[in-house]
């Protein structure tokens, strides 16, 4: 019986040999597959401080951010910007704060041009208020918020890098537009318009605010903003301005440090001139800067002190866009 196999006719033996060989091959493949799964993952140390690109289609709430963009009377710019921003890496969702009171949101058009990379929510407002964008939106799922003005274009590279910087400074406003306040001997503060004024100490310049119209910050600050003194809301409503200054006061008070971290943008553009609406931003009003100085002093009264602090840290991306941007002549 043992050698029965050998005595079978050639054809039957061939089939049994084929079955046997197939089984052996399948077993070998299974073993190889198991070995592959057991191989150690040697890629861990390759992980940079930047979050790894999400491999799944949905972004985890920790590794992504929500874009909040308030819009008024510039729907053409809004739509142009939405096409750009909807595909930014690590974007989770877009919240459009619709300040065009009584005007229909472009939802039909938006849907007809779908599908879109991420959900876009249009939040219809009842009053055209500057501080509408600082609500604690229930749709907000991520720890990080990217807030952009509806006329500002920042490159995807800049945003990806700034997001990675925010992840290292989560309690700060990490953004592209630095500003400062100036102390004067009289004790009255002035909103410093850049190199036209200098805080007057050490080398170079300082900044004490990072504007939220092009910045990342922690969504928790939107929650905090709901718990501010009434006088803050009254001030912002009165001026239709200064919500960003108020946020910097809030953050500085909260951290006891400079509120912002400035990331120098490689490619940031103002698209104001491109709008067909004829509407140009609030900052063109004659009283705009004077209002902001006024706000600084009012906020110092409201908060009983000046919490803003100076910083001169300017962050750029190592080796990008110029791979040799860190070289020196040594």
* Residues that bind a second copy in the complex, under the rule CB under 8 A: 42-43, 45-50, 152, 157, 160-161, 164-165, 168, 176, 178, 183, 185, 187, 194-195, 199-207, 257-258, 262, 264-265, 268-270, 306, 308-321, 323-330
Please state the closest distance from residue 94 (CB atom) to a second copy, in A.
22
Residue number, 168 or 277, with CB nearest to a second copy? 168
φ, ψ of residue 269 in degrees (nearest 5): -135, 145
Rounded Cα gap, residues 93 and 108, in angstroms:
18
Please state the closest distance from residue 315 (CB atom) to a second copy, in A.
6
- 71 class by beta-carbon count within 10 Å (0-12 exposed, 13-18 middle, 19+ buried): buried
Rounded Cα gap, residues 100 and 4, in angstroms:
91
Task: Give the residue ranges of DSSP H helices in 62-219.
Answer: 75-85, 107-112, 156-168
Residue number, 80 or 116, with CB nearest to a second copy? 80
Both tokens assigned to 289: 């800067």
Rounded Cα gap, residues 110 and 188, in angstroms:
48
Rounded Cα gap, residues 105 and 225, in angstroms:
26
8-state DSSP, 274: G
Please state the closest distance from residue 110 (CB atom) to a second copy, in A.
27
In 3D, which of 36, 38, 83, 85 has the Cα closest to residue 65?
85
Q: Cα 108 from chain centroid? A: 27
Name every residue whose Cβ is closer than 8 Å to that of residue 206 and which is 6 or more positions away in sequence.
180, 199, 310, 311, 312
Please state the closest distance from residue 283 (CB atom) to a second copy, in A.
12
In order, the DSSP letters of 79-123 are HHHHHHHTT-TTEEEEEEEE--TTSPPSHHHHHHT---SS-EEEE
Residue number, 11 or 327, with CB nearest to a second copy? 327
- Cis status of the peptide bond prior to 115, with omega within 30 of 0: yes
Please state the closest distance from residue 23 (CB atom) to a second copy, in A.
34
Residue number, 120 or 162, with CB nearest to a second copy? 162
Task: Find the helix or strand (DSSP H, E) in which 262 lies.
Answer: strand 260-263
Active site residues: 244
Please state the closest distance from residue 207 (CB atom) to a second copy, in A.
6
Please state the closest distance from residue 223 (CB atom) to a second copy, in A.
27
């Amino acid at each position: 019986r043992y050698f029965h196999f050998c005595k079978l006719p050639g054809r039957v033996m061939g089939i049994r040999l084929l079955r046997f060989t197939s089984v052996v091959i399948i077993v070998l493949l299974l073993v190889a597959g198991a070995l592959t799964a057991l191989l150690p993952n040697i890629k861990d140390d390759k992980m940079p401080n930047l979050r790894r690109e999400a491999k799944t289609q949905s972004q985890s709430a920790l590794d992504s951010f929500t874009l909040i963009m308030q819009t008024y009377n510039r729907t053409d710019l809004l739509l142009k910007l939405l096409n750009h921003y909807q595909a930014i890496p690590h974007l989770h969702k877009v919240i459009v704060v619709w300040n065009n009171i009584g005007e229909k949101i472009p939802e039909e058009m938006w849907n007809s041009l779908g599908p879109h990379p991420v959900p876009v929510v249009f939040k219809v407002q009842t009053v055209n208020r500057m501080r509408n964008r600082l609500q604690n939106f229930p749709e907000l799922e991520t720890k990080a918020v990217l807030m952009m003005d509806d006329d500002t274009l920042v490159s995807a590279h800049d945003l990806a890098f700034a997001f990675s910087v925010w992840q290292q400074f989560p309690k700060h406003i990490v953004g592209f537009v630095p500003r400062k306040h100036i102390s004067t001997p009289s004790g009255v503060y002035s909103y410093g318009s850049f190199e036209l004024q200098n805080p007057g100490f050490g080398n170079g310049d300082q900044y004490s605010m990072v504007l939220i119209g092009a910045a990342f910050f922690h969504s928790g600050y939107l929650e905090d903003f709901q718990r501010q003194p009434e006088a803050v809301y009254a001030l912002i409503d009165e001026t239709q301005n200064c919500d960003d200054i108020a946020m910097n006061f809030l953050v500085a008070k909260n951290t006891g440090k400079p509120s912002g971290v400035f990331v120098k943008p490689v490619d940031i553009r103002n698209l104001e001139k491109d709008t067909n609406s004829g509407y140009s931003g609030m900052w063109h009003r004659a009283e705009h800067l004077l209002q902001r100085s006024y706000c600084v002093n009012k906020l110092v009264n409201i908060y009983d002190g000046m919490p803003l602090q100076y910083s001169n840290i300017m962050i750029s991306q190592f080796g990008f866009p110029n791979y040799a941007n860190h070289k020196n002549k040594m």
